[in-house]
């Protein structure tokens, strides 16, 4: 049981529409948006829920000293970087980049249809890591009605039992899971002492521990053990 739980409805998130092809929901301060009460959650620095229209996207831009990963919800996301990596990923895939000492990359939607993905930035355990890249594509059955472990980090093992599905390694004591649940399906987990969790509803709805429903848009629960 978590000692602290906060429900953050989707209506409380900042909606950014900086250009014709992009609509984002910011969970924390980002770009021109600054909210002093929403700057980070532990080492979780950025969580953006992005909708990118077809034949558009984020052109080449640099990053440094950040653990960046994107989870594709719908459509296809094409990644290219200065390390020589180039690939297109579909629904259920995770794409990871440890920016370290510096990397330049682009994220484009080369298809005609909308691309929906969630991008997260984690503060690394130290500065100056060598840049690296990784990705993994998962089948729907891998995450159906169970927590699928898609990213793991340094330090302690996950505080709850998960299905391990990815060898991608974050440079931080962080674990990332996804689950695609049927109606009325339940997942149980417990946070260890000093651990915390940030739970995002991407599609559908979710009932909290108190039994009150979250909304159907992307809302979150912030929990601390």
87 has binding-site annotation: no
212 has binding-site annotation: no
Q: What is the CA radius of gyration of the chain?
A: 17
116 has binding-site annotation: no
Question: What residues form DSSP beta bridges with 153?
Answer: 170
Place of tokens 């459509």: 75
The DSSP call for residue 140 is H
Is residue 162 within 8 Å of residue 179, measured between CB atoms?
no
Q: Which of 108, 94, 98, 104 is nearest to 143 (CA)?
A: 94
Q: What angle do CA 6, 146, 159 make, to 5 degrees?
A: 55
105 has binding-site annotation: yes
Alpha helices in the chain (DSSP H): 140-143
Could you tell me whether strands 163-164 and 148-153 are parallel, antiparallel, or unpaired per DSSP bridges?
A: parallel
Place of tokens 């929901």: 25
Question: What residues form DSSP beta bridges with 118?
Answer: 49, 71
Q: φ, ψ for residue 125 (rounded to 5)?
A: -70, -20
Is residue 141 within 8 Å of residue 95, measured between CB atoms?
no
- Alpha-carbon distance 57 to 78, whole Å? 9
Annotated binding site for Fe cation: 61, 63, 105, 107
Annotated binding site: 61, 63, 105, 107
């Amino acid at each position: 049981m978590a000692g602290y739980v906060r429900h953050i409805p989707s209506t409380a998130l900042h909606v950014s529409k900086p250009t014709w092809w992009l609509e984002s929901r910011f969970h924390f301060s980002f770009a021109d948006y600054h909210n002093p009460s929403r700057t980070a959650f532990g080492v979780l620095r950025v969580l953006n829920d992005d909708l990118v229209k077809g034949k558009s996207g984020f052109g080449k831009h640099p990053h440094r000293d950040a653990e960046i990963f994107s989870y594709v919800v719908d459509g296809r996301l094409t990644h290219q970087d200065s390390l020589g990596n180039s690939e297109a990923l579909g629904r259920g895939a995770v794409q990871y980049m440890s920016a370290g000492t510096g990397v330049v990359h682009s994220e484009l939607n080369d298809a005609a249809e909308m691309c929906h993905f969630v991008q997260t930035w984690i503060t690394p355990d130290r500065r100056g890591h060598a840049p690296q890249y990784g990705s993994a594509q998962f089948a729907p059955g891998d995450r159906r009605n169970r927590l699928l472990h898609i990213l793991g980090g340094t330090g302690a093992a996950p505080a709850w039992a998960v299905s391990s599905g990815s060898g991608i390694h974050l440079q931080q004591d962080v674990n990332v899971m996804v689950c695609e649940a049927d109606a009325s399906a339940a997942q149980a987990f417990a946070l260890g002492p000093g651990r915390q969790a940030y739970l995002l509803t991407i599609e559908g709805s979710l009932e909290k521990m108190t039994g009150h429903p979250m909304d159907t848009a992307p809302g979150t629960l912030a929990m601390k053990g």
